[in-house]
Each structure stands twice: as C-alpha cells, then as structure tokens.
Structure 1
Amino acid sequence: MDGASTDGPTDESLRETRTTLYPMQAWYCIGLLIFIIAVFQWISFFHSKFTRGRQMSQNSDPEQAYLHHRHGFSWRRIPLALVNAYRVITFRWTLEIGNSYSLTMAEVLVTITYMAFLFGWAFVNTTDLEGRTLDLTYWGNRAGALAASQFPLITALGTKNNAVSFITGISYDKLNYVHRMMSRVVFILLWVHAGSEVVLNAPFQPFLEEPWLRCGMTAIGALTILIVVSLRPIRAQAYELFFYVHFVMVLTFLVCAYFHAQYDALTYWIYPCFIIWGLDRLIRVLRLVLFNFGFKSGSMDATVELLSDDCVRLRLRRPFYFHWAAGQTAYLIIPSVSRLPFEAHPFTIASIDSNLSGVLQEQKPQGQKTTQISIAKHALGPSTPFWKEVAFFIDVRKGFTARLKEAALKGNTVKVFIDGPYGPSPNLESYDTSVLIAGGSGVSYTLPILLDIIERVRNGKSRCRRVVFVWSIRNADHIHCIDETLIRALQLAPPSLSISIRIHVTGAPTTIEALLHSYGLDGDITPLDDHHRSEIVVFPKGKAAERSQDSLLALESVKLQKGRPDLPAILRDEVEMATGRMSVSVCGSQMIVRSVRGALRFPVCSPLSVAGGGPSVTLHIESFAYA
C-alpha cells in the first residue's frame, strides 16, 4: 500500500508539471491562431490583387464606368452582402465607455476571448488529490507563469519591426491595440499571482529579505505605474511623460521580472524580450544610418514654418533613396528640439512620393485656355512641397511640438533624421468612389491619398470615378496649408474623375464673406463651371488672385461652409449615388470617427442595400486617439 501511494502522482508534481506545461499549451494555441489569421490575410490579399486586375481590365474605358446602374436584388450578391454585414457588425458597432474609450465589436471579442482563454488556463484542473477545488497552490504560481509566457509576444507587438506583422500582413499600429490589451490582462493576472503569494506566505515579514520577493514587488510596482500612465486621458495630455515613463518602467519591470523568475526557473520567458527589443532597435538604427548618413551635407536640413498658432509645417528635400506610400507615417528625430538625442516622434507624411509635379511644365496650353493655364503656372509657382518634398503637418501642443514652434518662430532650419516609413497604405485602386474625411491635421493622411488617386487615375491604374474630400478645421487660415496643392490637384485631375472638396470652418472667421474680406476681395467672384473646374479663375479686375487660397474658393468643385460637417448626411448621399465599390478613409478625433462609424451602419450599409446593387463600403480609420 505504501509503495503504491509513493509511485502515484503527488500534488507537488502535478503543480510543477502543469505550471510548466500549460503556458506552453497557451503558446501553441496563440501560434495556431496567428497562423490561421495569416492564411486568411494572405488569401484576401491575393484575391484582392486578382480581382483588382480583372476589374481594371473589364473597366479599361473610364467613360463607360458611368453607365453602371443598380439592377435590383441579385442572389449573386448575397455573399458580398454578408461580407458587408460582417464589416458593419465587427468594425462599426462599438461599445462606448465614457468619452474616452470606444471599442469595436472586434476589439471587444478579442479582449473577452483572450481574458477567458488566459484565466481559463490559469484555473482549469486546480482540484488537488484530496478533492479541494480551486486549490491556491495549483493556480497561484501557474498564473505567474502564464503571465510571464506572454511577455515575448507583448514585447513583439509593441515594436515597429515585428514578426507578427510580417507573418500576418497586419501593420504594427493596428496590432498596437492587442499589445495594450494583452498588457492589461497580464497585469491583472500578475496581481492574481501576487495575491496568492501574500496568502501562501503570510505572515509576510520573514520573506522581505529574499531577493526574489523584492524583485517581484519592484516589477509589479513598475508595471502598475506604467498601466496608470498609459491610460488614454493621461497619455493624450502628457505624451512625453508617457514616453519617458514607458521606457524606464518597462526596463525596470523586465530586469526585476528576470531575477524574480530565476526562483522558479522561468527565465526562458523573459530574456527573449530583450532580444526582440534589441533586434527592433538594431533594425531602426541601421535604417537611420542608411537613410540619413553618408549623403551630402544639408540633405536632411528641414524648414519649419509656422502656419498658425497651433500648426507647424515641416519640409525637407526628398532624398532619392526614401520612398513611401500615401497614408504612411515616419518617426522624426530632431536633436536640436528633442530632450533626448534620439527621441523619435511619429507623424503622418503629408506629401506624395511622385514625380507628377513636372506634368504642368510639360503641358502645352492650346486655344483660349492659354491665358488661364499660364496664370495657373504663375500662381502655383515652380513647385509645391507635396510632390517634390517630404512634408509634415504638426499640431502644436506641449513639450516637443511647443519647442518645434519656437524653432519655427526663429526661422531656423533644423537637422532631421527620418525613421520609416511605417504603417499601412490603403490601396484604393479598385474602388469606384472614395470619400476622404479629415479633422485638423488629419489632412496629413487624406491629402496624399487624394493626390495618389489622381495620379493613378491619370496613369490608368485606378477605376475611381468620384472623390469627395471633406476637411473640418477650426481656423480658416489653415486653408493656407494646402490651398496651392488642392488647386494643382484639381488641375491635374482627368475629366473622368469627379472631385468634390468641402471645407468646414468651425471657428472664426465663420463665413466665406469674412474670409474673402480678410484678403481684400470684396468684389463678386465668378466661379468656374464643372467643365472647366480644373482651371484657375480670373477675377473681375482681370488679375489673377494674389493668393491661391482665393482662387481655390472660386472653383466650382470647392465649397467652404461654416460649422461642423453633417457627416451622416454626406455619407448617406454618397452611398445612395454610388455603385460598385466605395471606400471611406477617416483621420480625425474620436468624435469624427464615431460619427462616421455610426453613419455607415444599418440601414445605410445594410445587406439588402448591397444585394440590391448598392455599393460595397469599406472603412479605413486612422484615429488620433490612444486606447
């Protein structure tokens, strides 16, 4: 009897086996999920490429595109209708938590699933051999081991160059929500582990001298500080504080966690974090060296312009080796402005990687258009920064951006090092209608997309027939940021592409008359008709507008209105008019994003609408906010 009892498993052996095995099993499940996501992502990618090529060949004549009409309900469109219903439910239905947090149903589902999975693995099979359920000795250390097993993945998801993005094709910024969510779930699990240690080792005083305990307490304290500072209200108001605290607290947490994990021989979950972080930094340093050093002096000198009290434009000559796609971001390192020499800040590239700026000089005016096109060349100048340079719009707030504003006031050039480009670029070649919506400096995202669409349509690489460009700004003076660029874009647009530009001013001056009066243009302005919308207007006195902004407002395609845009009405009208595929790209505040999501739910984007020949609507969001 005694021999039989000693040969069987003991509580201690079961605890140790499951503490080691269950984190491994959790990783197998997560790895399988990543593989499945990667398969679907790449299938979708290649299907999109194939479909886009086939659709382009079938719609090679852009004039024929206007002949498409809705033909009523079709059973063949049922799969497409179901896909659109999935998009609405998953990515446009949201859970609102106060004014700060807005989670899509996809994010809610991922969060609940991950929490259930991790806590389920922590508390499953915790009945000891005597029949006591939820034995603390079974799940206490296991909770800590499970949390530690997630550290490498959390670290990878927080880096710019990570294997998960490479495998799945999902950009790092889209994965950043998962990084934050996993960190917070693991934070809770670590406190569960800490609570079990307090109960098991009470009274606690004799263990306070143990190095493993001190390291554990320091680690969880550092993580607690980090979680608090990373909350959206704090992060949004004091980003630089978060930036510094994040670096210090993460380093403290991982170092202390490593020494704490030595007690249970779990360091193999910790040291990969340093390797992953180091590889990402190495790649970024190599990119910095290759992109920014070894070239002629002054090649990375940037001009800083103060466009208004709260907006700065940074411009530098486009290096021949630096290429990007519309909508991508880059990290800027400006040693003379930053507190730390290699402090990097992300900004969306507001210009387009194109040589299209030379087209106007190559065009030969003919007939009665000669005078107006010559006026256009004079008004536009020899070039604009949005085709020939790398340009950024930067909101002036506190810290780094406030110091950048001071540099702009001094009129000095600054040395800039670029790390990038990063992030996705929405491929809109196969869409018939594109709606671009921006708030404030969010135009950095939508403007290059507009320019990219125009260039692709000119080159026969896009089937787009209509573009709606909506920009909401507080100060009408912000129009100066992109006025010349919009005029040139309208001039370059082919006749087959209909462009509507709507600028909404929410602050003073709030009327078109006041805006024109501020520039001494009190006379009547005769706008061009739609047929000649791409030409520059001539004012009654026979002189071209002294400022291109005034020319812009005189174009038939451009409307300036006071107050916030009625986004639901704008989107509803566009959906009703559109056929084929329609994309909506948004970059702005949470208020703008919520309004757009709400407008593109049922019934506007209902399955019945799509099955009846309505457009299949895809939503791209580049939000200002942090979760």
Structure 2
Amino acid sequence: MTSSHTLSAGLSRRYVEGFYIPKKAPVAKKVKHKQPRQVKDMSHPISQSHEQAIYLQAFFGGMLGVAFIARLPSMVNWVMARGIQRATFLHKGEIDGPGAYPFSVIAKSPFNKGQSAKPNVFKRFTVWLAPTANTPLPGISLTAGQAFVFALATAASLFVFAYGPTNPIKEPSRAGWAAVAVTPAVTALSFKNSIVGTMGGWGYEKLNKLHRLLGRLCVLFALLHTAGYAHKSTLSGSTAATLKTPLYQSGILAMVGLLLTAVLSVPWCRTNFYNLFWHSHWLGYWIYLIAIMIHWKQTQPFIIPCIVFYGVDCIMRFCRSRSRLAEITPHPAAGYTTITIPDLRGGWEAGQHVYLRVQELGGKLFGLGNLIEKHPISIASAIGGSDGLRLIIRSNGDWSSRVLALAQRKQNEITYGTHEVGPEKAGHDSVPTAAVTVEGPYGGPLYTSFGKNGHVLFVAAGSGLAFVLACAEDLVKQSRGGHARATTCQVIWIVRDVATYQVFHEELMTLLVAASLVPLDLTVKVFITRHGNAAGVSSDDLTYLLPHRDGEILAKRPSIAAIIEDAVFMAKDRHCTYGMVVGICGPPSTVRSCRAAIGGIDPRYLKEIGGLSQHCETFGW
C-alpha cells in the first residue's frame, strides 16, 4: 500500500493538467521566470530617472515659492497701487491720484516728511543681507546672492543626473531625463511676459543669467545622453541600423536644435549680431521641443506646458505693441537720436524700456527685415509729460547708425526742401517724423519704489542717464503730490564729452527747475571724463553749461566709492531713518564698481540710516 501510494504521488507530480512532464528541470519554467526579471531590470533606470525629473520640478517650484512669499507684501502693494494698469500697456492717458504710486496705498494719505520712523524687524535683517547678497564676487560676473541661487539650481540638476541605483555614464537615459527636467525652468525664465518675473517683481533681463546657466546645463546633459547612446551603438556595431530609426533621427534633430540655440547665444554673437542670435534662438528652441516629443513620448508632460506658455507670451507681445507716428531729432555731433511719441503719455513706470521697430529703415532683406528687427531702448520720460514717450538712442551699431542717418535725411529734407517736402515748406519749424512700433513696456524697478526711501542716489554713465531722468522726474512728481518720503536726491552722471552732455542739457535743466518747486533737495553733478584731458579745460570753464545753483560740472574722472560713501554720510548727517536707495544704470564695469562700493560700507552706518537698497540696470543683453 505504501508503494502504491508513493507511485501515485509521483505520477501526480509528473502529470499536470493532462500533460506529461519529464523529471528533469523544466526549460519552460526557467524561461518564464527569467524573462519578467529581464524586462523589469531594463525599465527600472528609466522610471527611476523619470521620477527624479519630477522631483527636480518640485524643487524648482519650491525655490520660486520661497521667493514669491518673500516678495508677496510688495506684490500686493504694487497691485493695489494699480501697478498692472500703469506698467503693462502703453496708452494715451495717465493713471494718477493718491493710489498711483507704490507704498502710498498703505499710508492712506500723503507721506509724512519727518524722519522719525524706525525700520521693522524684517528691514533690520535686510540691512545686513541686501548689501552682502549684492556684493560682486572677484573674477566672475556674479554677485554673492546670484552665486548662491546658481549653486542650488546646479546641485539639484546634478542630483537628478548622478543619484540612482545605476551608473549615470553607463545608462545614458538618465542624462536625457535630466535635460528634459531642466527644460521647463529654462523656458519659464526666458519669456518677456513670464509669470515668474511678474510675481517676483523681476524684469526678464534680471532672470537672464539663471536662464543661461540652466540652458547650458540642459545642453550638457543632452550631449552626455547623445554621446552615451552613440558609444553603445558603436560597441554593438549597429550604428548604421540605429540611425535609420525614427527614435534616433528625432533625437539627433533635437540635439541640433539645442546646439543652434547654444552656439549662437554666446556673448560675442549677442552683442554684434543680436537679430541673428534672436531668430536662431527661437528657431532652435522650436526644433528641440517638437523633436524631443517625437523622440520620447513620455516627455510630453514636460514639453507641452512650454509650448502653451510660449504661445501666451507671443499673444501678450502682440497686445503690448503700439504703432505710432514719432518725431525723430538727430544729434550728429554726439551720435544720438531722440525719438518722441506725443500720442503715448501713460502705461509705463519710470525706468522701464520698450522694444523699438522703425519701419522706414532701408537695407536688410529689401526692407522686410525692418518689420522684425527690434532693439531695447530705455524710456527717458515719466508718465504724463507734455512730450509723451521719449527715447534717446546712441549710435554704436549698424541699426542705431541707420536710425541717425534716417533722422538726418528727414531733417535735411525739411531744412533745404526736396520734391517730397516742397520748397515752400523748407526752413519752417517742422519736425521730422517716422512710423515706429513700440512693444512693452518691460523691466524697470517694479516693486522697488525710490520715493519710499529717505535718501535717493542715482549713478548713470553715458546714455544710462535716460533711465535716471525718468526715475528722477517721477520722483519729483511724487514729491509734488506728497506721495514720497524722499527729502534728498543726488544725480551723478559720468559722461565722455561735452557733445554728449548737450544732448541731455535741456532735460537736466527742466529737471532742476521742476525740483526747485517741490519739497525735494535735488542736485545734479556731471563728470566729463575726456574734456579736461584733451583740451586742458578746468572745471570753472564748464560752469556755463549748467547754469543752475543745484548743478555742477567737473572735468575729471570720479571715484564711485567716494561718491557712495559721501552719500551715506550725507544721509546720516540729515538723520535719515527711512533708508537709502541707489539707482544705477550704465555698462557692466560701472554697475560692478557701484556694487563693490556698497558692499564695502560699514554695516553700522547702514543700520543708522535704515538700510541701503539698490536697483541696477546694465547695458548689454
């Protein structure tokens, strides 16, 4: 019985569902167990990298969230003061009144000029933090605050690439996911109408450095991804076969689009061939976005929002554009051109800039290039002025030289008469005009209000005075209505020669006369750097150029550190407790010198005057 039971048990184990299975190890079972494990191991690195890419997006969102929370009080105040209406769309009218200026809404009434208020806890903390964060680092064009943010963003991006159960070099898909994860952040920081800049109160030009850094990381990860798979296919001897597949073809096309944007965006190309950089940038960007979605469909949740936001930005640019007839005045001796649009009197804040197109310029692509060629120009007037929107262009390139030549040609037609003007109108006080399109406004101080501080210092170099004139004119206007705390304003202008000074002479005299009628102690000091050395003329010989008791002209090169230090001691002697603000506009060397001088001031003096803030506008893109 025992033997029969054993035999039946053995037969039952050998017969499964009617099939006879030999005693040897079944081959089918081994294949069945190995195949699922192999598929799981192949898919694991891809899913792990995808998950880390999502974590990187969450990290970038957290960084922006912290920045938005810190800027939230200023943003709410700016919106309540009708900042969106004043600084978004150019229009004919003017938004004025008690709520038309930042920080006057909280006061509910005109500011008290008395310097008795003490800074709150948050401002006492920023007294130490702000100068430190804005101090330039030696050897690189970054401040301490910018370097800290860059380090965080770079560390997070490298974490997605390097951290995981597999070797990132042997598994190139991880580098590809890192590039895709950085793409939305790069895109969000590139738009002129970006939600990041709007909510944070930063102009798009302030976010450009972070945009470039993340863009270079994206290109680096994409190159590692491409090189890794190229190496794999070379080792397996299947390069020719893989290049024929749509997967690899679309990947190569995406890489070409990225390299097109990266190579033509170097500083030399941006400075000398701005339009080539601009059009190659958006063309390569679109090639990359479309090709990457074809290359790997799992990237669509990262790429589709970029396409949607790009479309919204294009619509906003169209809505913020205005075509008008402008008055153009040439200044050939100094190489400047003044463009005035009387029909636009509002819709911008002091210190903002617009993109200008001049349709009547000849030359490129049979004149068709003028429809798309545009350049950023600072607005040199405050809202509500009698002249409207005023732009001052310095001739230092092909486009600006053609604008000056156009203004001279039209001026000669009016002065001497041509077949277009007619000899009967020659010699009359007519103003040459040209059709232009302005897009904007963009940038500017936004949440930074010069009028809420007790002491204001403006430092400008060259054509950077256009920014300072608009801000100073707006400050005078605020002081007239009692909406400014500032009691002292110093304007420092560093200019090359007398010919350039004469371009702005009328605006400076108008500013001094207007300031003398309001409770604001405004002074102007001009430093002409080349006049004294070239002609041997002393400062006394230049006093006739600025005949006003609050104006002074010196024929020498100033010390920016001494200027800022003297301004701090002046604020201290006048018992300023509302703080001091420095507005800077000029080339990178001037901005860097000002930041270094501010960072070298003793924090004890800054604490006594209520802190020191700064707003910088730098030439170049």
| TM-score, L = length of structure 1 | 0.77
Q: What is aligned with 2:389?
A: 390
Structure 1 residues 65-115: Cα deviation after superposition (integer angstroms, max 9, x where no partner):
5xx69xxxx9x8886443222112211232433xxxx11112212222111
Structure 1 residues 249-286: Cα deviation after superposition (integer angstroms, max 9, x where no partner):
33333333333334xx4234334333222221122223
Whole-angstrom CA distance in 2 between matches of 1:285 and 1:58: 38
Structure 1 residues 299-337: Cα deviation after superposition (integer angstroms, max 9, x where no partner):
5233242353432211121335x4211001111122222
Q: What is aligned with 1:618?
A: 613
Asked whether the 8 Å contact 1:82–1:607 carries over to 2, the reply is: no
CA gap of 1:486–1:436, structure 2 versus 1, over 3 A, is same
Deviation at 1:58, TM superposition (A): 10
Q: 1:83-102 counterparts in 2 under 5 A?
A: 83-97=126-140, 102=141
CA gap of 1:249–1:5, structure 2 versus 1, over 3 A, is closer
**Which of 287, 296, 316 lines up with 2:320 in the alignment?**
287
Name the aligned partner's letter for residue 547 of structure 2.
Answer: A
Kindly indicate whether residue 241 of structure 2 is the aligned counterpart of residue 206 of structure 1. yes
Kindly indicate whether residue 441 of structure 2 is the aligned counterpart of residue 418 of structure 1. no
**Which of 493, 497, 503 lines up with 1:471 in the alignment?**
493
Whole-angstrom CA distance in 2 between matches of 1:414 and 1:58: 43
Q: Helix, strand or coil: the match of 2:406?
A: helix
Asked whether the 8 Å contact 1:351–1:447 carries over to 2, the reply is: yes
CA gap of 1:278–1:343, structure 2 versus 1, over 3 A, is farther
CA gap of 1:269–1:557, structure 2 versus 1, over 3 A, is same
Deviation at 1:143, TM superposition (A): 1.7
Asked whether the 8 Å contact 2:462–2:586 carries over to 1, the reply is: yes
Whole-angstrom CA distance in 2 between matches of 1:141 and 1:280: 31
Whole-angstrom CA distance in 2 between matches of 1:315 and 1:159: 27
Q: Helix, strand or coil: the match of 2:142?
A: strand
CA gap of 1:107–1:616, structure 2 versus 1, over 3 A, is same
Percent of residue pairs identical: 21
Q: 1:468-547 counterparts in 2 under 5 A?
A: 468-493=490-515, 494=517, 496-508=519-531
Asked whether the 8 Å contact 1:56–1:430 carries over to 2, the reply is: no
Whole-angstrom CA distance in 2 between matches of 1:46 and 1:28: 25
Structure 1 residues 523-564: Cα deviation after superposition (integer angstroms, max 9, x where no partner):
xx9x8xxxxxxxxxxxxxxxxxxxxxx4x5222211111232
Q: What is aligned with 1:546?
A: none
Whole-angstrom CA distance in 2 between matches of 1:341 and 1:347: 17
Deviation at 1:461, TM superposition (A): 0.5
Q: Which runs of 5+ in 2 are unaligned?
A: 1-28, 82-101, 362-366, 411-431
Q: 1:299-378 counterparts in 2 under 5 A?
A: 299-319=324-344, 322-337=346-361, 339-355=369-385
Bigger radius of gyration, 1 or 2?
Answer: 2
CA gap of 1:235–1:59, structure 2 versus 1, over 3 A, is same
Q: Which runs of 5+ in 1 are unaligned?
A: 128-133, 293-298, 356-386, 528-549
Deviation at 1:444, TM superposition (A): 1.2
Asked whether the 8 Å contact 2:184–2:303 carries over to 1, the reply is: yes
Comparing 106-115 with 583-592, which one deviates more in the overlay? 106-115
Name the aligned partner's letter for residue 553 of structure 2.
Answer: L
Asked whether the 8 Å contact 1:126–1:135 carries over to 2, the reply is: no
Q: Helix, strand or coil: the match of 2:139?
A: strand
Q: Helix, strand or coil: the match of 1:436?
A: strand
Whole-angstrom CA distance in 1 between matches of 2:617 and 2:243: 48
Q: What is aligned with 1:562?
A: 555
Kindly indicate whether residue 599 of structure 2 is the aligned counterpart of residue 601 of structure 1. yes
Kindly indicate whether residue 606 of structure 2 is the aligned counterpart of residue 583 of structure 1. no
Whole-angstrom CA distance in 2 between matches of 1:77 and 1:166: 26
Deviation at 1:341, TM superposition (A): 1.2
| TM-score, L = length of structure 2 | 0.78
Whole-angstrom CA distance in 2 between matches of 1:510 and 1:212: 66
Q: What is aligned with 2:68?
A: 38
Q: Helix, strand or coil: the match of 1:96?
A: coil
Deviation at 1:199, TM superposition (A): 2.1
Q: What is aligned with 1:375?
A: none
Asked whether the 8 Å contact 2:348–2:383 carries over to 1, the reply is: yes
Q: Helix, strand or coil: the match of 2:451?
A: coil
Kindly indicate whether residue 249 of structure 2 is the aligned counterpart of residue 229 of structure 1. no
Whole-angstrom CA distance in 1 between matches of 2:106 and 2:536: 45
CA gap of 1:168–1:82, structure 2 versus 1, over 3 A, is closer
Q: Helix, strand or coil: the match of 2:47?
A: helix
Comparing 113-122 with 300-309, which one deviates more in the overlay? 300-309
Name the aligned partner's letter for residue 318 of structure 2.
Answer: V
Kindly indicate whether residue 306 of structure 2 is the aligned counterpart of residue 273 of structure 1. yes
Whole-angstrom CA distance in 2 between matches of 1:58 and 1:309: 45
Name the aligned partner's letter for residue 585 of structure 2.
Answer: C
Asked whether the 8 Å contact 2:124–2:610 carries over to 1, the reply is: no
Name the aligned partner's letter for residue 342 of structure 1.
Answer: I
Aligned residues: 532
Q: Helix, strand or coil: the match of 1:323?
A: coil
Asked whether the 8 Å contact 2:260–2:281 carries over to 1, the reply is: no
Whole-angstrom CA distance in 1 between matches of 2:510 and 2:547: 14
Whole-angstrom CA distance in 2 between matches of 1:180 and 1:413: 39
